[in-house]
Amino acid sequence: MTSTLTPAPGRTATPHRRTKRVRWRGPLMAWLFLAPALLLFLYFKFIPMFVGLWKSFFKVQTFLGDEWLGLENYKTIISDADFAAAIWHSILLALGTTIGSLVLGLGFALLIEGPARYLWFVRTAAFLPVVTTMAAVAEVWRIMFHPADSGMLNTIIGWVGVDPQPWLASEHSSLWSIMLMSIWRGTPYDMMIFLAGLVGVDRTLYEAAAVDGASTWHRLRHITLPALRPVFWILFTLAAIRGLRVFVEVYVLTNGGPNGSSEVLMTLIYKLGFQKNDLGVASAGGIVLFLATLALTLIAQMLRRRQAR
Amino acid sequence: MRFDSALGLESRKGPMAVAGKVLIYGFMVVVFTGPLVGLLVSAFSKTLDPTSFSLWPDEFTLENFVQAKEKNVYLYLLNSFIVVGFGLLLQMLVSVFAAYSLARKKFRGMTFVLLLMLTTMMLPEEIIAIPLSLVLSDMPLLHVNLIGTYAGMILPVGAWGFSILVMTEFMKEVPVELEEAARIDGAGELRIFATIIVPLCRPALGVIGVFGFTMIWDQYLLPLIVAPESSMWTLPIALRSLRSDEEVGIGVLLAASLLALLPSIIAFLAFQRQFMRGLTSGAIKG
């Protein structure tokens, strides 16, 4: 950190009065102002990252000292059926939530686009789920998902003649129920970003299309959607990164149950690390999660490039 | 025929069009606020069994909030406020200082520092949760144990890449002439920073303030790792322990959930403009 006290190019207003003192003060000041941020990042981001990588090669034992295992922990993860299921659930949940939120977000954005004054109320109300505390929202949904016939969601679907569902209580529907809540929370965010994107679409194109007598579908297909493409990819990449590391929703709603049917990577890592004290495998799981996130981001970028061609 | 939007809905007139619009808007408001309104209503109603959660008020009562005191809910709320108060203060200070350096200075290694910031944003806290608990229990070089302390919940949220980058973008906008004039007048570095740059960035302070608040208030894994004793719990992680109560059923949980939700909702409503600006300025919540 301190080896960077190189003379800065003269930035003072009066070149002939540049003294030695002023010359090195620039960079030193710069690093001083950065120091708190760098120190906190070092301690709470970078050191943990390296500790995690390091521990992932060991059998971590508190009093006996760590035992070198090489890639054993990673082999455990790859060959373990629980991990395979958790990775699959994470991917399914991430994809379902991402696509659901994108499609609904775009649909709602198109419906409430426009300069109307009274729309601010609709937008504000619709955006509330995004800013709410996940743990509390998840508790509310857990209550709404109550599987009894008189549970809130079962009452609502009863009005339109659908039979009561077990929601979180069944192995077949637990993951889909979590997805439903995540889509509810993700849609307004995507909607807002799409709305911001729609503002930038060239109005004269719409006029021209109207003159040519193009249908609404054609207008969407050839003017609106192409203009939104960059926004779409940003949202997709973001959601993919966020979706894989899902934890709080699952932890609160089902804690991976029933019978492991909604166990995701992060809940499994948490159980391994803090309940079974298997820190080595848990650290390796964290690294795998990181690599998966990185891979997804790169894939999204590649798809984006191919689209652009 | 004029088009101000993709579907051209707003230019349609007539009773059918109006009815359709009202239906769409009503549907959206109900779907997205329904669970929250239900919570607000049910927290003040008699609720013994989980199925009595509804949008219709039962009979108004404050019983749930009285019972919540027995269950230490207000202690958890206080813990949350301590963490968010000091955490946000630290986060904003750190961001403003770092941004000053990144926006107003040229020095060797700047690109590298920016890259570091971006890396931290790409590195979700979930990934480092397990090793972070090891680091916190024995801080390298300092050899202090932060598990079970407020500092353990406050320090890790002190530096946030998003907040630093938003602030940096803003500070770049401040005209360099002001700074140079002050320099010629002989003002020192700290004085320029405190009396010229920071006051001009007040709108950005609102943006990073409201985002920082929701980010810290929403922390879950960190307090889970740091607070093994229930006396240190913040409200979000305490909710799980309030699920059933022989006195009021799910009433305490509903009251506590409402208390956990209100601060971020109020923060959002009060700083809506800043919130939307932060959201759409290309800044990304990481």
The rounded mean pLDDT for chain B is 84
Place of tokens 């630093």: B164
- Three-class secondary structure of residue A58 per DSSP: strand
Residue A164 Cα, gap to closest chain B Cα (Å): 13
| Pairing mode of beta strands A67-68, A58-59 | antiparallel
The answer to whether A14 contacts B280, with C-beta atoms less than 8 Å apart, is no
Q: What pLDDT is stored for residue A157 in this prediction?
A: 82
Portion 218-237 of A in contact with B at CB < 8 A: 219-220, 223-224, 234
Q: What pLDDT is stored for residue B233 in this prediction?
A: 92
Q: CB within 8 A of A60, min separation 6: which ones? A: A66, A278, A279, A280, A283
Closest residue to A248, CB basis, from B108, B117, B220: B220
Q: What pLDDT is stored for residue A116 in this prediction?
A: 64
Nearest one of A46, A44, A47, A50 to B91, comparing CA atoms: A44
Residue A6 forms contact with B (CB below 8 Å): yes
| Stated length of chain B | 286
Residue A43 Cα, gap to closest chain B Cα (Å): 8
Question: In the structure, what pLDDT confidence band is assigned to residue B248 with cuts at 50, 70 and 90?
Answer: low
- Three-class secondary structure of residue A117 per DSSP: coil
Please give the structure tokens belonging to residue B192.
Answer: 């320029």
Q: What pLDDT is stored for residue A3 in this prediction?
A: 43
Q: What pLDDT is stored for residue A154 in this prediction?
A: 81
Residue B31 CB coordination number (10 Å): 17
Closest residue to A52, CB basis, from B1, B29, B131: B131
Residue B106 CB coordination number (10 Å): 11
Q: Judge whether B77 and B88 are in contact, CB under 8 Å.
A: no
Q: Is the pLDDT of residue B3 over 70?
A: no
CA-CA distance, A182 to B260, in Å (whole number)? 19
Q: Is the pLDDT of residue B51 over 80?
A: no
Nearest one of B126, B5, B62 to A224, comparing CA atoms: B5
Q: Tell me the mean pLDDT in the region B93-113.
A: 88
The answer to whether B155 contacts A137, with C-beta atoms less than 8 Å apart, is no
Mutate to test the interface with A, among B27, B130, B144 (most CBs of A within 10 A): B130
Rg over alpha carbons for chain B, rounded to the nearest Å, is: 24
Residue A247 forms contact with B (CB below 8 Å): yes
Run of H or E residues at A303: helix A279-308
Residue A252 forms contact with B (CB below 8 Å): yes
Amino acid at A238: L
Q: What pLDDT is stored for residue A29 in this prediction?
A: 82
CA distances A118 to A121, B9, B19, Å, are 6, 14, 15
| Alpha-carbon torsion (A8, A9, A12, A14), positive or negative | positive
Name which residue leads in pLDDT, B98 or B196: B98
Q: Tell me the mean pLDDT in the region B88-101.
A: 94
Portion 265-304 of A in contact with B at CB < 8 A: 266, 269-270, 273-274, 279, 282-283, 286-287, 289-290, 293-294, 297
Mean pLDDT by 10 residues, chain A (309 residues): 44 48 66 92 91 87 77 87 89 90 91 74 87 91 84 82 81 89 92 84 79 80 83 80 86 87 90 86 88 81 73
Q: Tell me the mean pLDDT in the region B229-239.
A: 90
Q: Tell me the mean pLDDT in the region B44-58.
A: 71
Mutate to test the interface with A, among B2, B5, B102, B280 (most CBs of A within 10 A): B5
- Three-class secondary structure of residue B158 per DSSP: coil
CA-CA distance, B63 to B67, in Å (whole number)? 6
Q: What pLDDT is stored for residue A115 in this prediction?
A: 67
The answer to whether A126 contacts B102, with C-beta atoms less than 8 Å apart, is no
Residue A309 Cα, gap to closest chain B Cα (Å): 23
Closest residue to B3, CB basis, from A129, A192, A206: A206
Q: Tell me the mean pLDDT in the region B263-284.
A: 77
Quick one: angle between helices A279-308 and A225-244, nearest 10?
A: 170
Q: What pLDDT is stored for residue B11 in this prediction?
A: 66
The answer to whether B123 contacts A49, with C-beta atoms less than 8 Å apart, is yes
CA distances A206 to A12, A199, A218, Å, are 53, 13, 11
DSSP-assigned states of every residue in A157-202 = HHHTTPPP--GGGSTTTHHHHHHHHHHHHHHHHHHHHHHHHHHTS-
Please give the structure tokens belonging to residue A186.
Answer: 């993700």
The answer to whether B122 contacts A286, with C-beta atoms less than 8 Å apart, is no
Q: Judge whether B67 and B248 are in contact, CB under 8 Å.
A: yes
Q: Is the pLDDT of residue B85 over 70?
A: yes
Q: What pLDDT is stored for residue A211 in this prediction?
A: 81
